[in-house]
Structure 1
Amino acid sequence: SEILVRLPPLPSSLPRAFLVCERWRGIVSDARFLRRFRLHHRRNPPLLGCFVQGISPVHFEPTLDAPNRVPQARFPFPIDAVHTYVILGCRHGLMLIFLWRRNQLLVWDPITGDRHHLDVPPGFDNEETMISGAVLRAAGVPHRFQVVLVGNSGIHHSQAVASVYSSDTGVWSNLVSTLLPANDPDVLTMVYHDMCSVMVGNSLYWFLIGNFCGILEFNLDRQSLSVIHVPVDVDVNTCSITVIRAEGGGLGFLFLSDYCVQAWKWKTDCDGVASWVLERTVALDKLLSMNSEEGSQSPRILGFAEDNNVVLLWTFIGVFKVQFESLQFKKLLESYRFYCWFHYYPFEGVYTADGGIGGGPYGAKALHNMCLLYSGC
């Protein structure tokens, strides 16, 4: 088991080990081993695919090559009714969904099918502005999770507020708040929902739009909110942005306009003064070997897969994952013109064949069936 737990966290690893011999079969189909395997690899999971939201119901688009390609039907979306929910993002194998008609949050585990419904705590404005949030698992405890909810204050819209839910206690923390910069009192500043939260270190980040364009930071250790200015003027109608993990660690900011990408890093100098520094500029059409004159629509940032440290990009020749430190890239999906305005939610996780049915003979049968599936038999 000490050796097998270190197999690559790919969907085909355990089904292949299952067929080696009876002893290995007993180990990899045991529920305790499967939990340990997922826990061991929780910080380096593969990018299994993306949940895509467009004109049709949300569906899963696998991105791994065979034999690790997870079938699309393995992750059916748990909500049938359209226009009743907003996906707030994925992290640590969980998805956070805002059920705005019920004023509830749904924490969904696509791999096991587990669902947890949470009532939105008081203090948030959900009439003039939309709330946002993030989900994360507690370190070292796969069955525990936290939800961080952010939004405009229901009393003072010029303030951002946040609260944290812990599955350990089953309650929300007291609200914390920070003042949002404002140039025009008649225009609200709010969280930009086309960019999901990004976790860098022990902080979560969201982009702010409206009266002020900036970054909202929630520090998990201090349980505090703060606002960071962005290094460039941003018009979300003509450019794409995302927070990333910068080269060497720390907060980074990616700005895409037309085919030009700017990668910025938040640095602190010897006097303790923090500011943005331009780290690199990348010409996407050159990197991806595109003829920019052929495309009628410019590339767009779809999201950031934190554990794999890659940015997902839509282009007229396909959807790519790009690692901007090494400038390595790979085409994940074919591209269709109308797909450029779809929402893509990268899903990273350790997918084992038991899928929540446990070990024993049923887990063994699932592993065997998946081995046949992945091997193409």
Structure 2
Amino acid sequence: MSGDEDLPSGGGRRRRRRMSPAPAPPLDNNDLLSDILLRLSPSPSSLPRASLVCKRWHRLVSDPAFVRSFRARHRRNAPLLGFFTEGESRLSFTSTMERPDRLPRGHFSLELEGRRRVLGCRHGLVIILNRIDLYLLVWEPVTGDLSRVAFPPEFGDGGSALFQHAAVLRAPGDVHAGEDLSTPFLVVSVGSDTTVTRACACVYSSETGVWGNLVSTACPSKVPMYNPSTLIGSSLYWLLGPTMAILKFDLDRQFLVVIDAPLHNCPYAMFRYWVMPAEGGGLGFLCLSGYNAQLWMRKMDCDGTSGWVLGRTIELDKLRWLYSGEGFPPMIVGFGEEDHMSFLMIALHGNIGGIMVKLDSTQFKKPFRVECIGIHHPFASVYTAGIGIGGGHAGAELLHNT
């Protein structure tokens, strides 16, 4: 006989069955509710809105451990928040999101002392070059973390290599970050030997705090690199000039190779060419010629030989926003890897403006004002708008502007 019911043999009074307590409704279980809230959209307004439901929800989404888990979960599909541009002494951020996700003005600004240059953004990180003291600065705008990375010995004073560019990315396997706010990152530094006949590269790991071995490859180009790197799969790509070619660094196998560009007989021109993922994956290349955008892709033929194939040509003057009959044809000023968004500079109502467009689908976002003529660095990250770590009033500002 179970303990839930006790029946006397002589027909006495029947005892009441002791009922097990009913399971808590799903939303009354904090662990289950937290797991549900982790699946909210990574848009900046998501957690501030959830925090207004009730005190209990606010307590859950404000917990630093929850915020860390939320960021880690969405890091690889982070939304494009806006872009960075350089001024004379300041790195400025412009939000490109619509309300209620548009970030207040003044967010993510950073003073730039001395001769510094932004080299690119990736995985919620910004990499900045200090040309005077020869070091790289890795900045995480959302948390405010700053990491100073000394040049590799080969690229320093008296070294065997000349620095040209660098890229930053999250270390593989950090998608589910632990309790430590500072997640690992890698820095890849690229340049040339002193004779400018070989390209070279080496990798820094924030986990070990040291640079790896220098690798190199013969390079017929003069190696200057103007555009930020492009990450496709597990490889980084830089466009070389003035004789156009593409430098590829394979992160998995740690080797360099130079690839010919589709228009390698043409001289390099600023704002006209960009390395980008091809439609359907793989290595692609964007070329702007007047109002024609050519999308090239790297293909392998039946003999195992790789070559370039022109995918399609888009007539930009036939598209809304991109042709006004005035000024100059579009120029490429940036590329967002997360959603394949190209940033184009255009003449707009007598002024210089910018437009964001997915060339593979010709989807547009409304024009934005251009503060300076130069490279725009798209920035994607999971921004929790003042909820939890760091505090602040950004969440209230977002909701106020809804």
Q: Calculate the TM-score normalised by the size of structure 1.
A: 0.88
The answer on 1:112 being equivalent to 2:143 is yes
Give yes or no for contact 2:202–2:215 (8 Å, CA) kept in 1: yes
> 1:187-206 alignment to 2 at 5 Å?
189-193=222-226, 195-206=227-238
The one of 364, 367, 375 aligned to 1:329: 364
The verdict on how the C-alpha distance between 1:288 and 1:199 changes in structure 2, with shifts beyond 3 A counting, is: same
CA distance in 2, matches of 1:61, 1:239: 20
Aligned residue for 1:52, secondary structure, equals strand
Q: 2:134 corresponds to which letter in structure 1?
A: N
The answer on 1:150 being equivalent to 2:159 is no
CA distance in 2, matches of 1:281, 1:62: 30
- Unmatched runs of 5 consecutive residues or more in structure 1: 183-188
Displacement of 1:354 in angstroms is 3.9
Give yes or no for contact 2:324–2:347 (8 Å, CA) kept in 1: no
* Structure of larger gyration radius: 2
Runs of 4+ off more than 4 Å: 125-130
CA distance in 2, matches of 1:55, 1:298: 27
Q: Which residue of 2 aligns with 1:23?
A: 56
The one of 287, 297, 320 aligned to 1:265: 297
Q: Which residue of 2 aligns with 1:98?
A: 129
Displacement of 1:292 in angstroms is 5.0
Displacement of 1:268 in angstroms is 1.1
The one of 235, 246, 263 aligned to 2:267: 235
Q: 2:247 corresponds to which letter in structure 1?
A: L
Q: 2:211 corresponds to which letter in structure 1?
A: W
Give yes or no for contact 2:248–2:256 (8 Å, CA) kept in 1: yes
CA distance in 1, matches of 2:139, 2:111: 8
Q: Calculate the TM-score normalised by the size of structure 2.
A: 0.83
The verdict on how the C-alpha distance between 1:45 and 1:126 changes in structure 2, with shifts beyond 3 A counting, is: farther
The answer on 1:133 being equivalent to 2:166 is yes
Displacement of 1:59 in angstroms is 1.0
- Provide the identity percentage: 44
Q: 1:70 corresponds to which letter in structure 2?
A: L
CA distance in 2, matches of 1:94, 1:18: 27
Q: Which residue of 2 aligns with 1:343?
A: 375
Q: 2:187 corresponds to which letter in structure 1?
A: V
CA distance in 1, matches of 2:355, 2:367: 5
Q: 1:11 corresponds to which letter in structure 2?
A: P
Q: 2:67 corresponds to which letter in structure 1?
A: L
Q: 1:17 corresponds to which letter in structure 2?
A: A
Give yes or no for contact 2:116–2:128 (8 Å, CA) kept in 1: yes
CA distance in 1, matches of 2:287, 2:127: 26
Give yes or no for contact 1:39–1:140 (8 Å, CA) kept in 2: no
The verdict on how the C-alpha distance between 1:331 and 1:40 changes in structure 2, with shifts beyond 3 A counting, is: same
Q: 1:162 corresponds to which letter in structure 2?
A: A
Give yes or no for contact 1:129–1:190 (8 Å, CA) kept in 2: no
- Unmatched runs of 5 consecutive residues or more in structure 2: 1-33, 178-182
CA distance in 1, matches of 2:305, 2:267: 27
Give yes or no for contact 1:238–1:257 (8 Å, CA) kept in 2: no
Greater shift in the superposed pair: 93-102 or 70-79: 70-79
Q: 2:315 corresponds to which letter in structure 1?
A: A
Q: Which residue of 1 aligns with 2:208?
A: 169
Displacement of 1:153 in angstroms is 1.7
Displacement of 1:60 in angstroms is 0.9
CA distance in 1, matches of 2:157, 2:294: 34
CA distance in 2, matches of 1:241, 1:51: 20
* 1:13-40 CA distance string (max 9 Å, x none): 0000001012211111011111111111
The one of 247, 265, 268 aligned to 1:216: 247
The one of 249, 258, 275 aligned to 2:281: 249
Q: Which residue of 1 aligns with 2:85?
A: 52
Greater RCO, CA 8 A, separation 6+: 1
The one of 96, 118, 129 aligned to 1:63: 96
Q: Which residue of 2 aligns with 1:186?
A: none
